[in-house]
A and B are shown apart, each in its own frame.
Chain A
Amino acid sequence: MRYMLVNMQNCRMVYGQTLVELGREDDRIVVLEADLGRTTMTKLFEKEFPGRFFEVGIGEQNMISVAAGLALCGKIPFANSFSVFATGRPYDQIRVSCIGRLNIKIVGSSCGLSDFGDGATHQAIEDVAIMRAIPNMTILSPADGIETKKIVRAAARYDGPVYIRILRNDVPDVTAQTGEFKIGRPTVIREGTDVVIFAHGYMVYKSLKAAETLEAEGISVKIVNVSTLKPIDEKIIRSMASGTKGVVTVEEHTIIGGLASAIAFSLRGTGLMIEAVAVNDRFGQSSLNYEQLLEHYGLTVEAIVKAIKKVLR
Chain B
Amino acid sequence: MGSVALSDRQLRIKSIQYRLKILKYIKMANAGHTGGSLSCIDILNVLYNRILRVSPQTFGHPDRDRYIQSKGHSVEALYVVLADRGFFGESELETLCRYMSRLAGHPTRKVPGIEHNTGALGHGLAFAVGVALTGKKDGRAYRVFVLLGDGELDEGSNWEAMMAASHYGLDNLIAIVDRNMLQITGPTEQVCRLEPLADKLAAFGWSVRIADGHDIPALTDVLSAVPFEPGRPSAIIARTTKGKGVSFMEYDPSWHHGVPDNQQYEIAQQQLEQLLREAGGGQ
Asked if B133 is at the interface of the complex by the 8 Å CB criterion, the answer is yes
Given contacts A68-B116, A72-B116, A96-B120, contact A51 B130 (CB under 8 A): no
Asked if B12 is at the interface of the complex by the 8 Å CB criterion, the answer is no
Which residue in chain B gives the minimum CB-CB distance to A90?
A: B157
A61 touches B120 (CB 8 A): no
Interface of B is mostly: helix
Chain A residues with CB under 8 A of B122: 61
Asked if B282 is at the interface of the complex by the 8 Å CB criterion, the answer is no
B108 touches A99 (CB 8 A): yes
A52-60, A105-113, A181-189 - interface stretch: A52-60
B120 touches A92 (CB 8 A): yes
Chain A positions 61-84 with a Cβ under 8 Å from a chain B Cβ: 61-75, 77
Interface of A is mostly: helix
Q: How far is the CA of A59 from the CA of B163 in the complex (A)?
A: 10
Which residue in chain B gives the minimum CB-CB distance to A59?
A: B160
Chain B residues with CB under 8 A of A59: 157, 160, 163-164
Q: How far is the CA of A198 from the CA of B180 in the complex (A)?
A: 56
B157 touches A61 (CB 8 A): yes
Pick the residue among B127, B132, B135 that contacts A68 (CB under 8 A).
B127
Number of chain B residues close to chain A: CB under 8 A: 31
A93 touches B129 (CB 8 A): no
Given contacts A95-B120, A99-B108, A100-B109, contact A73 B160 (CB under 8 A): no
A68 touches B163 (CB 8 A): no
Asked if B77 is at the interface of the complex by the 8 Å CB criterion, the answer is no
Q: How far is the CA of A27 from the CA of B16 in the complex (A)?
A: 48
Asked if B259 is at the interface of the complex by the 8 Å CB criterion, the answer is no
Q: Report the contact-size class of chain A (Cβ under 8 Å from the partner).
A: 20 to 34
Chain A residues with CB under 8 A of B164: 56-57, 59, 62, 66
Pick the residue among A63, A74, A100 that contacts B116 (CB under 8 A).
A100
Chain A residues with CB under 8 A of B127: 65-66, 68-69, 72
B133 touches A54 (CB 8 A): yes
Given contacts A72-B115, A93-B123, A99-B108, contact A65 B133 (CB under 8 A): no
Q: How far is the CA of A72 from the CA of B115 in the complex (A)?
A: 8
B102-125 vs A, Cβ < 8 Å mask (1 yes, 0 no): 000000110000011110101111
Pick the residue among A65, A72, A77, A100 that contacts B126 (CB under 8 A).
A65
Q: How far is the CA of A59 from the CA of B125 in the complex (A)?
A: 13
Chain B residues with CB under 8 A of A95: 120
Chain A residues with CB under 8 A of B115: 72
B128 touches A69 (CB 8 A): yes
Pick the residue among A65, A71, A75 that contacts B123 (CB under 8 A).
A65
Chain B residues with CB under 8 A of A63: 126
**A12 to B: closest C-beta gap in Å:** 25
A68 touches B137 (CB 8 A): no
Q: How far is the CA of A198 from the CA of B131 in the complex (A)?
A: 41
Chain A residues with CB under 8 A of B230: none
Chain B residues with CB under 8 A of A54: 133, 168
Asked if B101 is at the interface of the complex by the 8 Å CB criterion, the answer is no
| Interface core residue of B62, B131, B134 (most chain A CB under 10 Å) | B134
Given contacts A54-B133, A61-B156, A99-B117, contact A74 B163 (CB under 8 A): no
| Interface core residue of A62, A67, A68, A93 (most chain B CB under 10 Å) | A62
Pick the residue among B123, B125, B130, B163 that contacts A57 (CB under 8 A).
B163
Of all A-B residue pairs in the complex, the 3 with the closest CB atoms, nearest first, are A69-B130, A65-B126, A62-B160
Residues on B lying within 8 angstroms of A by beta carbon are: 62, 108-109, 115-118, 120, 122-135, 137-138, 156-157, 160-161, 163-164, 168
Further contacts, 19 of them, CB under 8 A, given A69-B129, A93-B123? A54-B168, A61-B157, A62-B129, A62-B161, A65-B129, A65-B157, A66-B126, A66-B164, A69-B116, A70-B131, A72-B116, A72-B127, A73-B134, A92-B120, A96-B118, A96-B120, A99-B108, A100-B109, A100-B117
20 chain-A/chain-B pairs, Cβ below 8 angstroms: A57-B160, A57-B164, A59-B157, A61-B160, A62-B163, A65-B123, A65-B125, A66-B127, A67-B130, A68-B116, A68-B130, A69-B129, A69-B134, A72-B130, A73-B130, A73-B134, A75-B134, A93-B126, A95-B120, A96-B117
